[in-house]
Amino acid sequence: MNKDIPVISLQRLPIYLNYLKSLPEDRTYVSSGLIAEALGMGEVLVRKDLAYTSATGRPRVGYVAKELISALEDFLCCNGRRSAVIAGVGALGRAVLSYGGFANYGIEIVAAFDSDVAKIGTAVAGKPVFDILDAKREVRRLKAELAVVCVPAQYAQKVSDLLIESGVKAILNFAPVLIKAPDGIVVRHIDVAANLAILSSMI
């Protein structure tokens, strides 16, 4: 993936992709104007976002729909397919396991971990739930490099340490605590409440 793309643009690419896939199969061309109108966005912005991909529009007719779909898919997945695990099978973990949007980015959720014996050995959304104590073995076996941490705040650091020891290189953290990680490991924090608070400050 082109690392120079702004996050805000990257987040829009799967939205374009979903829209393009929703069009009738027999549609040959699609213009940035059409996409912009359908999604309620500015046309210049759409063109700018799409310019990060390898697709090139043609004067008057726009993009070949199939080429644009391929260009978006290539762009989103061009760092290869990666496997991710979920730590914590509470309400949030279940939601993430059931979420279908990862495939657009070439990411596959392959397993989940929990410490609750009632959950270990079950499957959620078709993915096996393993004992967190077996993380080292399973993360290696599954070659998972990504993890989504959905455990309560007080366990987030310990679980992250274990995942990193097991070979995970990037952690998306939903727990409302900062995760410390050694150099070379990337961590991103999604704080749902902070996001709502930011909105609240804007009205």
Q: Is 194 in the site for its own copies (CB under 8 A)?
A: yes
- x/- mask, its own copies, residues 88-117, rule CB under 8 A, reads --xxx-xxx-xx-xx-xxxx----------
H/E element, 139: helix 135-142
Q: Kindly state the smallest distance separating residue 71's Cβ from its own copies, in Å.
A: 16
Helix, strand, coil fractions of the chain, as percent rounded to 5? 45, 20, 35
Indicate the Cα dihedral angle 149, 166, 130, 187, nearest 10°: 10
Cβ closer to its own copies: 12 or 31?
12
**C-alpha 129: how far from its chain's center?**
20
Of 23-31, 62-70, 113-121, 169-177, the segment contacting its own copies by CB under 8 A is 169-177
Question: What is the DSSP pairing of strand 127-131 with strand 107-114?
Answer: parallel
| 47 in contact with its own copies (CB under 8 A) | no
Residue (55 or 179) nearer to its own copies, CB: 179
Alpha carbon 82 to its chain's center:
11
Helix orientation angle between 153-166 and 135-142, rounded to the nearest 10 degrees: 50
Residue ranges that bind its own copies, judged by CB under 8 A:
1, 3, 7, 10-12, 14-15, 18, 39-41, 76, 79, 82, 84, 90-92, 94-96, 98-99, 101-102, 104-107, 145-146, 148, 153, 169-172, 176-178, 180, 186, 188-203
